[in-house]
Structure 1
């Protein structure tokens, strides 16, 4: 069992790696199958989101990412066999090499923080009610990074940056080309995550 000091130090290291990595390459590879996983390993993207898998395969999927020297972040809401309960975060922490998780669920983000995992809280900008609740959720859960979907809402990104308590913001979803990446970055996003393989290549 790691001490609180060790967990805090690990979190600091992960956040520093995240900042350094996104400065070198602002595109985050999001993988949905084994073929994309293999392509992500040879891409210049230094951070990989895992958007697929189950309790039997997630360990090996994460291992492949770590073997390639990249940061592995598991979208825990999308892993088959994991319930929407804190014990699922414990499973990821104990049985995989994952550096962190993504989730839309505040209680999972809180538990991941307690375990020293890197945390990304994802928000879908469906309406103004969702947008107006961002600040409350971020202050309550204290994620390391906030992710907003879709990525193409430059004006919304600028407004959101005022609501996230200084947290770095990643844009995601409907990233069609490198212009969408540049638009999100120009609006203030620190990075863009995408499943679009052509966009991965555009930053090489």
Structure 2
């Protein structure tokens, strides 16, 4: 977990890559952390190697890697290809990810007050290493979750400008996940 926090203290922007075509762009940027929201079992090893060779930390979103199941074998596969951590919306995978020695980032979508309550409950029960709040524009919610769960909070989704970044950081987020290349 220290590697993630150290990387985010150097640069809190996380490049969220939604297309393999963006890998060359991210290799040229100063971001220290990359969230892979694309790829498949055939190209994952080479993608991860290219990003890691550029000195960046790599987190794969297990739910978005094509050709993988959403189970312990998928976690073991991603560990074999060299990811530093795994992002998931599935609370049941958190323990498996941590047991493999990887950083577990639980992504939660906040739609209303009930999803906020459920999200906090799941975080406290499953104990991920970090939580990614979607959408990242919900800076008041970021503050509430940060106060309640005492683990690093990452804001992601709909982050389009520096004001969005400043609002999230000032309310407790340690990092910002964005696919907006201008912010990388």
Q: Is it true that 1:188 corresponds to 2:172 in the alignment?
A: yes
Equivalence for 1:101 = 86
Please state whether the residue corresponding to 1:133 is helix, strand or coil: helix
Q: Which 4+ runs in 1 deviate beyond 3 A?
A: none
Deviation (angstroms), 1:103: 0.2
What CA deviation, in whole Å up to 9, does each residue of 1:12-70 have, x standing for no partner? xxx22211211111100111223311111111100001010111111111111111011
**8 Å contact 1:86–1:107 — kept in the other structure?**
no
> What's the Cα RMSD here?
1.1
Distance 1:30 1:70 in 2: 13
Q: TM-score, normalised by structure 1?
A: 0.87
1:161 and 2:125 correspond:
no
SS, match of residue 69 in structure 1: coil
Aligned to 1:76: 62
Larger Rg: 1
Gaps of 5+ in 2: none
Q: Which residue of 2 aligns with 1:7?
A: none
* Counterpart Cα distance in 1 of 2:167 and 2:130: 19
What secondary structure is seen at the aligned counterpart in 2 of 1:82? coil
TM-score by length of 2: 0.96
Aligned residues: 184
Alignment of 1:33-44 (within 5 A): 33-44=19-30
Match of residue 155 from structure 2: 171
